[in-house]
Each structure stands twice: as C-alpha cells, then as structure tokens.
C-alpha cells in the first residue's frame, strides 16, 4: 500500500534545478533510501515533502490525497514526521520535554490553558515509552545542549516518532556519528514499528545496503534509478556517476 507518493516534482532556484521531475513511492513498512552525491537535491526533496519548501510543479500525496499546498503542520497531522539534518532541537529544554512536545502535538491539547501539563499522565507516559524505545531514558532530565552529538541524533528520531507517525522522513540520520554510534542507530531504525513507511537520505553505503528495501539515486535533481538494492547496485549509469567512486 502506498503511503507517500511524490509525482513529477519540480523545483528550481533561478537557473539551478534542484528537483527535476522526481517521482517516487514509499509503502507501509518500506524503508526507502535516497542516495546521491552532494548537491543532488536530497535535502531539498525532503523539505518539499515535509512542506518546509514549496515545489514549483508536481504533487506530493499522502494516502492518495494531494498535500502539495498544505503547510508543514497540516502534513504532520496526516501522519508525516521528519528529522532535520542541521536544525537544532529544543536546545534549552530537557530531553524528556523535547519528546513530550512531540507527543503533545498529536495526543495532547495545546490550547488547554487550565490543566497542568505535568498532570497529563497519558502524554507523559507515551513520552517515556518513546524514550525507552530509543534508549534515552537515562538522559531524560538532561538539557539537550548538554548531551552528546550522537545522543542528539537519536533524540531527533525520538521526537519525530513521538506523535506516532505513519511516514517518517530521515535526513542523514547517521551523519557525523562514529562507527559504533552508527551501528547502534541502524539497530534502532531496524527496530522501529514495522508499519512505518520510512524515506531516508543516507551517505554511508554500508548503512544503505543493510537497511534499504528500495534505493533511489538522485543526480543533479534527477532520478537516475529507483529499484531494489541489488538492481541499483548493478545499474551501469549509477556505477558510473556515483557508486564507482566508493566501491
């Protein structure tokens, strides 16, 4: 079942085409990985799917309905969640409070002025569950600014998962992590709920091939290939322009 569909997406800044006629699908339970050299337009694509950037043409569909013109928060309410590569978390808040806000967005009532947030046991309990799932419980009371970079990357995923999304966009979740942290993060991504459709950008080929159900190769804004990992790995053009360098 297709959860997320991107259809003939177009985006350019002046003469620079960052997205050219990109079409791809993410199904329930699928881990779809986008690879491509720097400047291939990967993050721009994620931003257009998330709603942080508006495409010039084409469509983004969630569950068959067109969301191209919807604001990020409206897409989030349809079950789309994302992580950011560079955007910081809620730096001055605790790890728990970061996740709690993610839970509150979906399960709480942000226009409730009267009840104390601490009294919403359902929201707090779910936040603790998510922290458990991501193995962050020990850090719950620490301020984000004071935890390690690797833990922050994990928290990124925790915050995105907090609202129980159906589609998760991960923008280079392992960038800047040590090999040990990377392996740990792969385990975490593997253990995510199986109904989740995941679209992730990744550079590390080891990670890509150990996780991907499907790989899409972007090259200067264009889809070069989109298929099962072994088929993509065998693709001549892909080998020429991209993989050749790292194999």
Partner 1 sequence: MGEFVFFLLALAWPFLAGSYGTGLITEALIFAIAAMSLDLLMGYSGLVSFGHAAFFGVGAYALALSGMKLGLNPWLGILVAVMTSALAALIIGYFCVRVSGVAFIMLTLAFAQLLYSAAVKWRGITGGSDGIGGFDRPQIAGLSLNDPIYMYFACLLGFVLSLWLLRRIINSQFGHALVGLRENETRMRALGFSTDRLKLCAFVLSGAFAGFAGALYAIYNSFISPDALSFAQSGMFLLMVVLGGVGSLLGPAIGAAIFLLMKQFVSSHTEHWLAIVGIIFVCCVMFFRSGVYGFLKQWLERGART
C-alpha to C-alpha distance for 208 and 156, rounded to whole angstroms: 19
Q: How far is the CB of 15 from partner 1 (least distance, A)?
A: 27
Instruction: Tell me which of 13, 14, 111, 245 binds partner 1, using CB under 8 A.
Output: 111
What pairs with residue 226 in β-bridges?
A: 216
Burial class (CB in 10 A: 0-12, 13-18, 19+), 92: exposed
C-alpha to C-alpha distance for 29 and 1, rounded to whole angstroms: 9
Q: How far is the CB of 227 from partner 1 (least distance, A)?
A: 30
> Which residue's CB is nearer to partner 1, number 97 or number 204?
97
Q: Give the interface size with partner 1 as a residue count (CB under 8 A).
A: 41
Encoded one letter per residue, x for contact with partner 1 by CB under 8 A and - for no contact, window 60-99 reads -----------xxx--xx---xx-x--xxxxxxx---x--
> Which residue's CB is nearer to partner 1, number 78 or number 205?
78
DSSP summary character for residue 118: G
127 three-state secondary structure: helix
Binding residues for partner 1 restricted to 136-165, rule: CB under 8 A: 159, 162-163
Q: How far is the CB of 235 from partner 1 (least distance, A)?
A: 33
Q: How far is the CB of 177 from partner 1 (least distance, A)?
A: 20
Burial class (CB in 10 A: 0-12, 13-18, 19+), 164: middle
Task: Give every CB contact of residue 72 below 8 A, 6+ residues apart in sequence.
Answer: 50, 51, 52
Helix axes 95-107, 121-133, angle to 10 degrees: 120
Q: How far is the CB of 159 from partner 1 (least distance, A)?
A: 7
Binding site for partner 1 (CB under 8 A): 50-52, 71-73, 76-77, 81-82, 84, 87-93, 97, 100-102, 104-106, 108-118, 120, 123, 159, 162-163
């Amino acid at each position: 079942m297709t959860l997320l569909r991107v259809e003939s997406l177009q985006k350019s800044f002046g003469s620079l085409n960052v997205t050219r006629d990109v079409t791809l699908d993410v199904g329930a339970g699928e881990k779809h990985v986008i690879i491509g050299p720097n400047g291939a337009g990967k993050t721009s694509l994620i931003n257009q799917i998330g709603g942080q950037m508006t495409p010039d043409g084409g469509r983004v569909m969630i569950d068959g309905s067109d969301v191209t013109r919807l604001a990020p928060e409206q897409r989030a309410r349809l079950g789309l969640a994302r992580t950011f590569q560079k955007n910081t978390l809620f730096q001055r808040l605790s790890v728990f409070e970061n996740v709690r806000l993610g839970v509150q967005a979906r399960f709480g009532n942000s226009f409730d002025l009267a009840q104390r947030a601490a009294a919403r046991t359902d929201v707090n309990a779910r936040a603790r569950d998510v922290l458990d799932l991501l193995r962050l419980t020990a850090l719950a009371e620490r301020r984000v600014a004071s935890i390690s970079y690797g833990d922050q990357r994990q928290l990124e995923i925790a915050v995105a998962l907090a609202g129980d999304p159906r589609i998760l966009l991960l923008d280079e979740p392992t960038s800047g992590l040590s090999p040990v942290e990377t392996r740990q993060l792969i385990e975490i991504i593997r253990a995510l709920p199986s109904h989740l459709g995941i679209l992730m950008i990744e550079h590390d080929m080891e990670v890509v091939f150990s996780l991907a159900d499907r790989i899409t190769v972007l090259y200067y804004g264009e889809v070069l290939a989109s298929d099962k990992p072994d088929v993509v790995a065998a693709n001549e053009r892909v080998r020429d322009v991209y993989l050749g360098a790292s194999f």
